[in-house]
Structure formats: structure tokens, C-alpha cells
Amino acid sequence: MSTSATLKRTPLFDQHVALGARMVEFGGWEMPVQYSGIVDEHNAVRGAAGLFDISHMGEFEVKGPDALAFLQHVCTQDIAAIGEGMANYSLLCRPDGGIVDDIFVYNLPDGYLVVVNASNIDKDFAWMLDNLHGFNVELTNISDHASMLALQGPAAEGILAQAAGPELAALPFHGVATGMLLGDIPGIVARTGYTGEDGFELFIDDDNAARLWDGLLALGRAAGLKPAGLGARDSLRFEACLPLYGHEIADDINPYEAKLGWAVKLDKGSDFVGRATLAQIKQQGVARKLAGFELTERGIARGGYELRDAAGARIGEVSTGMPAPSLGKNLGLGLVPAALATEGSELSVVVRDRPVRARVVKTPFYKPRYKK
């Protein structure tokens, strides 16, 4: 078991402690799970804005003559359709169709930036290196000196306009650009996020992370900006039904099971790792599918709890479950037989050895409010 002495820390560790954050282990990092409280931070993001330290995420630079061809080979998304100054979501898949990771790809003037999940940095980089043969590409893992902040919520645009000027604050959805933050901090700004709200993700060198964090909190205080931890990040992405690696997606879950077939471009004009298997899966259909459900009796679904069908037979387990602060309902996600993934299907969740009735409902639970 990891101890605080062996856990990695972001450059903002001292800021988190000074703000009274409760620190926990996450993916090998010591990270803030909450400051004022998960629900309070969740509501701040939905109603005003929240600032997240996501410097534990991984960042890879992909440059060189074959950068595009390489990313087309390893990504399910059509990278050629991501114009310069834009970004998009993609998956890395194994030859058998299982998901190595979900990623974001940013097209910058001097190459591509790929952001991966914190717990998968070493695995993803090794996997990409294994698939690099024959491509003239410079692949660099810059995770150890790159910091990343997420400014999310309806007030995010106004706060960023103060910090970086109106031009960067006017980026389109999934737009990305370089610029100066707080006057003299060079960084990359992208209109992307993981909360279901409008907002931005900011990339800066580690040396500038603390000053940017403090500066944004000061600028945004009047607008209701609050620091937010991993607890609110999880509840926000859960309501919007955004997947989390190790929960809704994994090496043994394919995109069609995870309802991420929209990120698989089988007809993009070039082969990619896993394409043949994924084409077969799409044609044949899947035996199981991710479904969202609402508990109709008293109880709270938690990750790992057993799911049963109406006859009481085990059909899977909860991938993520919790009370949804924005909706006032106890909700959950889980892989279930495809026939039961339809809206209205009756299930049960085993909560403390007691089956609690649930009903499959439409997803996402919370309609994202991205600025498009």
C-alpha cells in the first residue's frame, strides 16, 4: 500500500494544504479530494466556477513528419479531421478492441499534444512506443514538468477573460491556442473539460503553476470561483456520464459496450490498431452495454455493488454510483446485458446484502452545457 512518502505530488501540494484540503491517494498521487465539501464544490461548478488541479494527468508531445499518420494509426478518432487550433476526444484500443485509455488530442502549430489519464501514463507511453515502428515521429513524455489546471463552470469565460484576455476566452468549443496568462505566464488554453459545463483547461510549466493557481482564485473570487477536488470532479463527470478509466472503460471493455462508438471512425480512410475487431463488433452487436439507472427504493449504489435482473440473477456490477447533487436522485452506471440496457428495464442493486430496485433511465443524467 502506498504511503504519503512514496506518493507523487503536484507543484500545488502546498496550496492545497494551505486551503485545508483533505488529501488522498489517487493513481499514485497525493491529491485533494475536497476543500469546503464535495457537494459545495460541485454546486459551485454548476452555478459559478471551480478550479481543479489536474497536474497528475499525463502529457505527450507528438511531433515530426509522420505525427499525423502515427496518431491515425493508434487512435480510433479521425485525427485528420482535427484542424490546427482544435482538439478532440479519442480512444487507444488494443487489437482485440479493448480500451487502452481514453485521451484528448490537441492540434498545435508545432505538433500534437496528447493528454492521458494519470494512472496510465507509463502504460500508454510504452504502448505508443510499441506502435511507433516505421513512423518518423518524435514522441516525448513531458508529464514530469507540465502542469494542468481546469477552470470550469458558467463563470469560467469571464474569469479567463480577466486572466488571459478576451481573445483566448472566446475560443470555440474544443478550440486550443497558446497565449499569456496573468500577463507573463506562457501557456496553452483549451476550451475542454470533464464536468459537463463550459470551461477551459490550462497547460503551463510546473514553475508557473502556483502563481497561476493563486492568481485565478483571486481573480475569480467575486464571481464565486472555488477550488474543487477530485470528489466534485467525479460527481460532475458522473452526472454528465463521462467515462472514467477503470470504471466505465478498461482493457476488457470495448467502445461499443461503453457507448463510445461515436469516437470510433471505421471509415476514416486509414487502418488503426483494433479496427478489424471493432468493425466486426459493430456488425455483430454487443452482448452487454453500459446503462444508467435510478434507484427506485431507498439506497445508494456504489462502485462494485452487484447488479441483478428482475429474476434475481447476477448480471454485472456498478461501475460508478452515488447521489447526484444536481438532480437529487440516487443514480448509477454499469455494464448490463444489452437487452436490459433499454430505458425502463427493471434491475436491482445489492446494497448491504439487500436487493434495492432500480430502473434504467436515459443518459446522460445531466445535459452538458458546453458553449458551442
pLDDT band at 215 (very low <50, low <70, confident <90, very high): very high
Q: What is the pTM of this model?
A: 0.96
Phi/psi at 153 (nearest 5 deg)? 130, 165
Sheet holding 49-53, edge to edge: 176-181, 185-190, 199-205, 146-152, 49-53, 225-228
Grid cell in block for residue 63: 511531433
- CB 229 within 8 Å of CB 26: no
| Sign of torsion over alpha carbons 33, 227, 168, 199 | positive
Average pLDDT over residues 320-330: 98
d(CA 311, CA 190): 48
* pLDDT of res. 61: 98
Q: How far apart are CA 359 and CA 347, in angstroms?
A: 6
pLDDT score for 92: 98
What is the amino acid identity at position 203? F
pLDDT digits (tens, 9 = 90+) for 66-123: 999 999 999 999 999 999 999 999 999 999 999 999 999 999 999 999 999 999 999 9
* pLDDT score, position 27: 87
- Residue 166 contacts by C-beta under 8 Å, 6 or more apart in sequence? none
Mean pLDDT of the chain: 97
**Which domains, and CATH codes, for the chain?**
13-55+145-239 (3.30.1360.120), 287-361 (2.40.30.110)
Q: What is the full DSSP assignment across 148-191?
A: EEEEESTTHHHHHHHHH-HHHHTPPTTBEEEEEETTTEEEEEES
User: CB of 341 within 8 A of CB of 330?
Assistant: no
What's the rounded Cα separation, in Å, for the pair 121 and 73? 19
pLDDT beyond 90 at 52: yes
Model confidence over 234-273: pLDDT tens digits? 999 999 999 999 999 999 999 999 999 999 999 999 999 9
Strands 49-53 and 225-228: parallel
H or E stretch covering 222: none
